[in-house]
Amino acid sequence: MSINMKTLTQALAKTAAVIEKTVSTTVQEVTGPKPLQDYELLHQIGSAGPGLAWKLYSAKARDGTRPQQYPIVCVWVLDKRLLSEARARAGLSKAAEDAFLDILRADAGKMVRLRHPGVVHVVQALDESKNAMAMVTEPLFASVANALGNTENVEKVPKDLKGMEMGLLEVKHGMLQLAETLDFLHNNAHLIHRAVSPENVLITSNGAWKLGGFGFAIATDHASSDLANGQAFHYAVS
């Protein structure tokens, strides 16, 4: 029986591609998103984002030989399984859960593209597996919500956050930084944030206040159109 070598080669190539994809998917499901493969989580420092759903961890690169912009970074982690359980307990639909995850994806995507000192700097873009989402940013201290005493989704509150009180001067300086960032977003990036809240304002390890939480942001021309059509937008803050 003659064998068509071209057909056999094509069949083998397709089989190899399927095996490679299967192995890659299996490895990712076992090890989690790429940031969790590349960085070692040291300890949880806080929580952030809508509903403080993101857990923030101090972390360092597993490969200590490669050059790093930051010796210590912040890894943002969201456990999809815990989110599903919380959604079920609250009696919400799967569609609501999916919409929430889309907001987080939009937030991460916009933070990657926005380059400004007042926007949280993303070191490694969002990656996700079936059970988790993760991304890496510059080193952070906590969210402003955490600093104000809201430590929801923080398993063990760091001692630096316990009983923390921010002075009036620190708050004024932080608000000034946010005002400068919003001015850049409106006049240069042509973007309306629409979700400025303590959960979406992050304090860096150096004490700077920076914006995250871009999941609700829209272009200024879209905002003008919504106003012209009488459409209102309300973001519920805790």
- Is the pLDDT at 41 greater than 70, yes or no? yes
Question: Does the pTM exceed 0.75?
Answer: yes
Evaluate whether 211 touches 201 at the Cβ level (below 8 Å).
yes
Structure confidence at residue 188 (pLDDT): 94
**Band (226; pLDDT cuts 50, 70, 90):** low
Evaluate whether 60 touches 124 at the Cβ level (below 8 Å).
no
Structure confidence at residue 147 (pLDDT): 96
Tens digits of residue pLDDT in 151-174:
999 999 999 999 899 999 999 999
Neighbouring residues of 229: CB distance < 8 A, sequence distance ≥ 6: none
Architecture of domain 33-228 in CATH? Answer: Orthogonal Bundle (1.10)
Evaluate whether 61 touches 74 at the Cβ level (below 8 Å).
no
Distances in whole angstroms, Cα of residue 116 to Cα of each of 110, 177, 204: 12, 12, 14
Q: What is the 3-state secondary structure (H, E, C) of the chain?
A: CCCCHHHHHHHHHHHHHHHHHHHHHHHHHHHCCHHHHHEEEEEEEEEECHHHCEEEEEEEECCCCCCCCCCCEEEEEEEHHHHHHHHHHHCCCHHHHHHHHHHHHHHHHHHHHCCCCCECCEEEEEEECCCEEEEEECCEEEEHHHHCCCCCCCCCCCCCCCCCCCCHHHHHHHHHHHHHHHHHHHHCCCEECCCCCHHHEEEECCCCEEECCCCCCEEHHHHHHHHHCCCCCCCCCC
Tens digits of residue pLDDT in 194-216:
999 999 999 999 999 999 999 99
- Residues 90-98: what's their mean pLDDT? 93
Query: Higher confidence at residue 69 or residue 139?
Result: 139
Q: Rg for the chain (alpha carbons), in Å? A: 21
Residue spans of the domains in the chain: they are 33-228
